[in-house]
Amino acid sequence: MKNQLDKNNIPQHIAVIMDGNGRWAQKKGAMRIFGHRNAMTAVRESIEGAAELGVKFITLYAFSTENWSRPKEEIEALMELLVQAIKDEVPTMMKNNIRLSTIGDVDSLPDKCRQHLEWSKNETKNNTGLTVVLALSYSGRWEITEAVKEIVKKVGQGSLDIDHIDPRLIGEHLNTSGMPDPELLIRTSGELRISNFMLWQLAYTELYFTEVLWPDFRKEHLHEAILAFQKRERRFGKTGTQIKHKC
Ligand code: IPE
Ligand code: IPE
Ligand code: MG
């Protein structure tokens, strides 16, 4: 599968909605948290797979604003796993020149999580290979709301002219400022929805859905998704003929 990929058409930015941990565990007659615990192999494989292909950014939706409504025990277990994973992965990230970054309301995370995240981001900040972006306590509507507040504040203070507000300026006020929009979104577990993820940035992203539950996701699934992406014609509002003749 990997050999079939066009090396000149690898997405710069891949976004992933890692879904299906609970169902994976339940199918095995285990508690939902068992699924979360078994999600790390999939995370590692997708990061490694992306790095091998020269992908620049991979954004992993790990915890949504809405996920705060889950049972308290599940949230606590997820946060604990997060701390552990960050700790465990920093040496590998250093070895592979990987930078860690986050989007979302990181301040709302438990202190211990926040501290580990800050430490790991700082350790890896000079790495120049793949950037792994963890979306934590993130949602598209939250992010856009924060951007609106920031922009309105600047207009109020007189440091921003209302006529200078355009899509580029809005993009610069989002958490993803400086990153290219994802070209490819992968969602596992067969759910066909966006669940409040990167609402602004996904405007022209190619969407790829797979039945595979996240803990079963491996490099070959990533390759399959990229292959499907490479077969799409991205038209950006133009006609197919215009795209073929590059005009
Ligand atoms: C995705 O798996 C992980 C998180 C949202 C944290 P789920 O926990 O949503 O698993 P399902 O969708 O219930 O199977
Ligand atoms: C989306 O999955 C959030 C993450 C993967 C972190 P959910 O499982 O929370 O989404 P819904 O509730 O099924 O839409
Ligand atoms: Mg889910």
The predicted structure's pLDDT at residue 146: 98
Question: For position 197, what pLDDT does the model report?
Answer: 98
> Do strands 184-187 and 131-138 pair parallel, antiparallel, or not at all (unpaired)?
unpaired
How far apart CA 109 and CA 148 sit, in angstroms, is 23
pLDDT on residue 1: 85
Query: How far apart, in Å, are the Cα atoms of 247 and each of 183, 233, 237, 238, 243?
Result: 20, 14, 12, 9, 6
With a cut of 90, say whether residue 87 has pLDDT above it: no
> Residue 186: pLDDT above 90?
yes
Residue 236 is predicted with a pLDDT of: 93
Q: Is the pTM of this model over 0.85?
A: yes
Indicate if the pLDDT at residue 182 is higher than 90: yes
Answer yes or no: is the C-beta of 49 below 6 A from any ligand 1 atom: no
Radius of gyration of the chain (CA): 19
Which whole number is the average pLDDT over 171-191? Answer: 98
Q: C-alpha dihedral over 114, 115, 117, 123, to 10 degrees?
A: 160
Q: Has 67 been annotated as catalytic?
A: yes
Q: Is 19 in the pocket of ligand 2 (CB under 6 A)?
A: yes
How large is the average pLDDT for residues 24-52? 97
Is the confidence at residue 189, as pLDDT, over 90?
Answer: yes
What is 8-139+181-246's CATH superfamily? Decaprenyl diphosphate synthase-like (3.40.1180.10)
Exactly one of 6, 8, 21, 67 is catalytic; name it: 67
Task: Take atom 13 of ligand 1 and give the residue whose Cα is closest.
Answer: 22
Any ligand 2 atom below 6 A from CB of 67: yes
CA 226–ligand 2 middle distance (angstroms):
22
Whether 67 is in the pocket of ligand 1, judged by its Cβ within 6 Å, is yes
Average pLDDT over residues 178-194: 98
Percent of the chain at pLDDT > 90 equals 98
Q: How much distance in Å is there from the Cα of 67 to the middle of ligand 2?
A: 7
Residue 102 has pLDDT above 90, yes or no: yes
**Is 3 labeled as catalytic in the residue annotation?**
no
Q: Which residues contact 125 (CB under 8 A, 6 or more apart)?
A: 99
Neighbours of 59 (CB within 10 A): 26
Residues 133-163 have pLDDT tens digits of: 999 999 999 999 999 999 999 999 999 999 9
